[in-house]
Amino acid sequence: MSEMTPMERFEAALRGEEPDRVPVMFMALMICAREINVGMREYAKDAEKLARGQLAFFEKYKPDVVTPGTNVCMTAEAFGTKTKFHEGLTLPVTEEYAVKTAEDWEKIEVPDPKRAGRRGVYLGAVEIISERLRGVPIMGFIISPLTLASWVADLSRVVVDMKKNPDLLHKGLRTLTDAVKARIETSIDAGVTHFMLVCTRASRELFKEEQYAEFGMPYDLEVLSHAVKRKVPIVAHVCGVEPLLSLIIREYPIVGVNWWDRGTKFSLKDVKNEYEVTVIGGVDQNRTLLMGTPEDVEREAADAIKNAAPGGRFILSAGCELPAIAPPENIKAVVRAAEKYGKYVKG
């Protein structure tokens, strides 16, 4: 089989076919600042530097997908949440939430999807990357409205309002849903080719399945319908040690799913065998990528390939965002494993 482009390889895996080798994807966000030796503040607030960091990461590590972005505060800032930046490569944190009381859910508005907060920085970076990289998937992010609610307000505020002020919370979720739909359109126009639905709150550690079915799923499905109409493939990212994988895979129009498979009871092989969906993962971002040796990483990646790659529908990745301090040699070991062990032999 001749060598595929990253787009061909990634698309084949999402269609359930066997590409020339296992594709590799990283959720590489703030880590890209170090590739161009700038601080997190500069990287997060300058479209040219954000794009340059992403391009440098792509050239150095050779994954099959680019994931432009910075941190969760980027999306929340458009609604009035304030971010505190530190000097150097220390990750920024939320300094003040836009929603402080239940009544504040009625006050938030749909922001400008092109310019509010750091939106212009993000879109500008995507445009630069899409111009530079042809034949490479550019992964955009659809933030689940319930997840976004927990960035616009403290998570505890969301939990309390689910029980005590559900009508007000639903009003806030309605506004956030309209905002996410508008962002989908501008992301596609800028050059995004695929989307990842970020539903970090779809986990039993936080909510019962019936709670997520009421406050999460209806709004998720509404925003996803926007991307589906534009014929943009969608994968989902679910956090936690008890993710609501069955709900997400059964009910959502997704072609792939990423979760912390090494930290949950849901193995890549079992999920792949039970559902017709591409599984994305295999490397532990909290332990092996951070504290292991390159040999440890390669061994874990090789194990994932052995168990999940046969028959296709597998993309090698970490279970969540790459830690900003992940050793470079460990990141390279993931790609090396895909090249060494992930080729599909055609009979």
Please report, for the domain that includes residue 100, its CATH number.
Answer: 3.20.20.210
Note whether residue 256 is domain-resident: yes
Decide if 41 contacts 63 (C-beta within 8 A).
no
Decide if 238 contacts 244 (C-beta within 8 A).
yes
Distance between CA atoms of residues 290 and 154, nearest Å: 28
Note whether residue 346 is domain-resident: no
Torsion from C-alpha of 184, 185, 187, 191, nearest 10 degrees:
130
Note whether residue 16 is domain-resident: yes
**Phi, psi angles (nearest 5°) of residue 48:** -65, -40
Note whether residue 329 is domain-resident: yes
Indicate the pairing of strand 82-84 with strand 93-96.
antiparallel
Q: What is the pLDDT of residues 53-110, one digit of tens each?
A: 999 999 999 999 999 998 878 899 999 999 999 887 788 899 999 999 999 999 999 9
Q: How many domains does the chain have?
A: 1
**Cβ within 8 Å of residue 170, ≥6 positions away:** 215
User: What pLDDT score was predicted for residue 225?
Assistant: 95
Range of the domain at 330: 6-341
Decide if 179 contacts 78 (C-beta within 8 A).
yes
Note whether residue 178 is domain-resident: yes
Note whether residue 266 is domain-resident: yes
User: What pLDDT score was predicted for residue 1?
Assistant: 63
Chunked mean pLDDT (size 10), the chain, 347 residues: 92 96 97 95 96 98 96 90 87 94 98 95 98 96 97 97 98 98 97 97 94 97 95 96 96 97 96 95 97 98 97 97 95 98 83
Largest CA distance in the chain: 64
Rounded to two decimals, the pTM is: 0.96
Note whether residue 347 is domain-resident: no
DSSP letter string over 95-108?
A: EE-SB-SGGGGGT-
Note whether residue 206 is domain-resident: yes
User: What pLDDT score was predicted for residue 73?
Assistant: 83
**Angle in degrees, CA 146, 139, 232, rounded to 5:** 80
